[in-house]
């Protein structure tokens, strides 16, 4: 389910980027969401007395990898645009990938809020419930 949400968000993000010529803005937004996710993850782990430097470091490295991956998508698009005269290769695919990861980060931020015991709007609770049911993950993040 999370992959479907990311795919749909990525496609819509690429379309919005193309329509409004906002190439690169998605990465700035993604970095903001990543910082929020990392921070709320640390807070949730602190509240639940589950702070672990190895888990924190692994999470940080994964976020850096995602940024490198999206950077490579932009680089491939740039290279393709030099050889193919399609308007699709203008950074829009990279923005689509960034928007897909923004959706994933939002889900993670909401999950961190649940772990902290923060109040959550019903539509977010329902979204998290659907994602967990479809992915087979329970409230603690363990596979069922």
Whether residue 108 is contained in a domain is answered as: yes
Give the pLDDT confidence score for residue 126 in this predicted structure: 83
pLDDT digits (tens, 9 = 90+) for 34-52: 999 999 999 999 999 999 9
Overall number of domains in the chain: 1
Q: Are 92 and 18 in contact (CB under 8 A)?
A: yes
**Is residue 18 one of the residues assigned to a domain?**
yes
What is this structure's pTM? 0.75
Residue 141 domain-assigned (yes or no): no
101 and 26 in contact (C-beta within 8 Å)? no
Let me know if residue 12 belongs to a domain: yes
Mean pLDDT of the chain: 81
- Confirm whether 144 is domain-assigned: no
In a domain, 143, yes or no: no
In degrees, rounded to 5, the angle at the alpha carbon of residue 32 between the alpha carbons of residues 26 and 36 is: 140
Domain residues for 58?
A: 2-135
């Amino acid at each position: 389910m999370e992959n479907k949400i990311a795919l749909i968000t990525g496609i819509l993000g690429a379309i919005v980027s193309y329509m409004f010529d906002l190439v690169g803005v998605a990465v700035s937004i993604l970095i903001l969401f990543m910082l929020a996710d990392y921070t709320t993850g640390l807070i949730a782990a602190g509240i639940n007395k589950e702070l672990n430097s190895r888990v924190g470091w692994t999470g940080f490295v994964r976020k850096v990898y995602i940024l490198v991956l999206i950077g490579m998508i932009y680089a491939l698009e740039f290279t393709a645009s030099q050889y193919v005269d399609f308007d699709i290769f203008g950074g829009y695919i990279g923005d689509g990938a960034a928007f897909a990861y923004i959706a994933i980060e939002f889900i993670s931020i909401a999950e961190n809020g649940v772990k902290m015991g923060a109040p959550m709007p019903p539509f977010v609770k329902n979204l998290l419930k659907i994602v967990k049911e479809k992915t087979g993950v329970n409230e603690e993040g363990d596979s069922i």
